[in-house]
């Protein structure tokens, strides 16, 4: 079938502002939007720039705004993208556009790194794995699924308006370690997230939960971190 | 350059968040107006009466109906946000809660609107 893609394009070398370009692509309804973008890049306009790597919703590099919502281009099927109308594709928001659909992800990863996203275990280094009960593992299971695609963070209206907010993805990854029974430094992360740029900037708009391609209950995780900070301070 | 394309197609939560901000701003603006019109009493009784007589005209009565709607929505949605902050069940049912806020706001605004608008037509207070 023939579909029309409307892509918000921007080349800093030649354009003053982003502009819409329209392309036709010959795809199957069961193809992904990524296949349509490949079709455009390979057969129509090789200058189109976008990121993708695994192309199977695992690496999280092809997050983009498709028909007004954050989606992974490799996960959304053409038949589910209202193909009877032009499919609108834009870069994710709140991060500087470098070219076409490519944004500068560094501020996003800076926020991620700021919450110490690694296991910190005190005491002597164990010579085998640290025991964890299935119940303790279950406590943070949902937030282990994050692929750092930035769909949540760049769908957040507070993040669009404030570059200093750490964003949902960083909080989700903090949650993953704060509630891990093997980790001994939850207080350190909670102190970071209790700062002005931290978890209390969240206004529960739920865009993050709606946007997550892994169906992580992002707002739920954020609220759990908020409550943990509150209850530990009482 | 930050991308500014189409309007983000958020769902119930985003529009509840947007409406909360808009109604909060409107209520704040009215509060400032109210501070000014009440302050007039300290300047001149006549001026105060003249300005308050203006509140009786149909446009300002409609404005008051809108104000009531904004106030009720903002207050109820504030309670929804508090519920979402403290209870997991409220997080799971935030959409239903948002629609409940809209429904109660609509009912209160219509009933309150009748009370506010009726004296304009009957020239006597409802109660």
What pLDDT sits at residue B54? 85
Per residue in B60-77, pLDDT (tens digit) is 999 999 999 999 999 999
Chain A: nearest CA to B9, how far in angstroms? 5
- Predicted TM-score (pTM) of this structure: 0.92
Q: Select the more confidently predicted residue: B1 or A161.
A: A161
Question: B111-125 as b/e, with b when 16 or more CB fall inside 10 Å?
Answer: ebbeebbeeeeeeee
Residues of A in contact with B87 (CB under 8 A): none
Determine which helix (DSSP H) or strand (DSSP E) holds A110, and give its type and residue range. helix A106-114
> Nearest by CB to B91, which of A65, A92, A223?
A223
What pLDDT sits at residue B121? 83
Residue with tokens 């892994």: A214
- Which of the four CATH numbers 1.10.3720.10, 1.20.1300.10, 3.30.56.10, 3.30.420.40 does domain B12-122 have? 1.20.1300.10
Chain B: nearest CA to A55, how far in angstroms? 24
Per residue in B106-126, pLDDT (tens digit) is 999 999 999 999 888 887 776
What pLDDT sits at residue B1? 62
Our CA dihedral for A73, A74, A80, A85, rounded to 10 degrees, sits at 40
- Reply yes or no on whether the pLDDT at B127 is more than 90: no
- Reply yes or no on whether the pLDDT at B3 is more than 80: no
**Domains of chain A, with CATH numbers?**
2-102 (3.10.20.30), 106-232 (1.10.1060.10)
Residues of B in contact with A97 (CB under 8 A): 1-3
What pLDDT sits at residue A197? 95
Collect contacts of B69-72 with beta carbons under 8 A, ≥24 apart.
B69/B23, B69/B105, B69/B108, B69/B109, B70/B22, B70/B23, B70/B26, B70/B27, B71/B23, B71/B27, B72/B104, B72/B105, B72/B108, B72/B109, B72/B112
Which of A154, A206, A215 is most worth mutating to test chain B (most B CB atoms within 10 A of its CB)?
Answer: A206
Go through chain A and tell me how many residues it has: 234
DSSP state of A32: B
> Nearest by CB to A91, which of B3, B13, B94?
B3
- Read off the pLDDT band of B2 (50, 70, 90): low
Cβ within 8 Å of residue A110, ≥6 positions away? none
DSSP state of A77: B
What pLDDT sits at residue A147? 98
What pLDDT sits at residue A204? 97
Task: Name residues of chain A where pLDDT drops below 50.
Answer: none
Mean pLDDT along residues B22-40: 94
Number of CB pairs, chain A paired with chain B, less than 8 A apart = 93
Cβ of A65 within 8 Å of Cβ of B14? The answer is no
**ipTM for this model:** 0.89
How far is Cα B72 from Cα B63, in angstroms, rounded to an integer?
Answer: 14
Cβ of A206 within 8 Å of Cβ of B8? The answer is no
| Minimal-distance CA residue of chain A relative to B90 | A220
How far is Cα A209 from Cα A205, in angstroms, rounded to an integer?
Answer: 9
DSSP state of A40: I
């Amino acid at each position: 079938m023939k579909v029309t893609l409307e892509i918000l394009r921007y080349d800093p070398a030649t354009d003053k502002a982003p502009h819409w370009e329209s392309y036709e692509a010959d795809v199957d309804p069961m193809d992904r939007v990524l296949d349509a973008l490949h079709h455009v890049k390979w057969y129509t306009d090789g200058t189109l720039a976008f990121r993708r790597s695994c192309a199977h919703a695992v690496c999280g590099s092809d997050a983009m705004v498709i028909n007004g919502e954050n989606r992974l281009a490799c996960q959304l099927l053409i038949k589910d993208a209202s193909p009877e109308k032009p499919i609108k594709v834009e870069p994710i928001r709140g991060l500087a556009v470098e070219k076409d659909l490519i944004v500068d992800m560094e501020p996003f990863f800076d926020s991620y790194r700021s919450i110490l996203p690694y296991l910190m275990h005190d005491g002597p280094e164990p010579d085998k794995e640290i025991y964890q009960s299935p119940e303790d593992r279950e406590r943070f299971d949902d937030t282990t699924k994050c692929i750092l695609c930035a769909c949540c963070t760049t769908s957040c209206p507070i993040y669009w308006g404030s570059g200093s907010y750490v964003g949902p993805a960083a909080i989700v990854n903090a949650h993953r370690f704060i509630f891990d029974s093997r980790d001994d430094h939850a207080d350190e992360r909670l102190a970071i997230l209790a700062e002005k740029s931290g978890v209390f900037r969240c206004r529960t708009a739920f865009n993050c939960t709606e946007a997550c391609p892994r169906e992580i209950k992002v707002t739920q995780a954020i609220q759990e971190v908020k409550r943990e900070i509150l209850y530990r301070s009482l | 350059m930050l991308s500014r394309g189409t309007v983000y197609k958020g769902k119930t939560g985003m529009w509840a968040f947007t409406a909360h901000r808009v109604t909060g701003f409107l209520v704040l603006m009215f509060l400032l107006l109210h501070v000014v019109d009440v302050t007039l009493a300290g300047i001149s009784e006549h001026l105060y009466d003249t300005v308050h007589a203006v509140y009786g005209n149909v446009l300002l009565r409609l404005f008051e109906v809108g104000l009531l709607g904004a106030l009720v929505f903002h207050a109820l949605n504030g309670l929804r946000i508090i519920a979402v902050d403290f209870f997991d069940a409220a997080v799971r049912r935030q959409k239903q809660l948002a629609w409940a806020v809209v429904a109660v706001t609509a009912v209160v605004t219509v009933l309150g609107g009748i009370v506010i608008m009726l004296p304009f037509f009957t020239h006597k207070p409802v109660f």
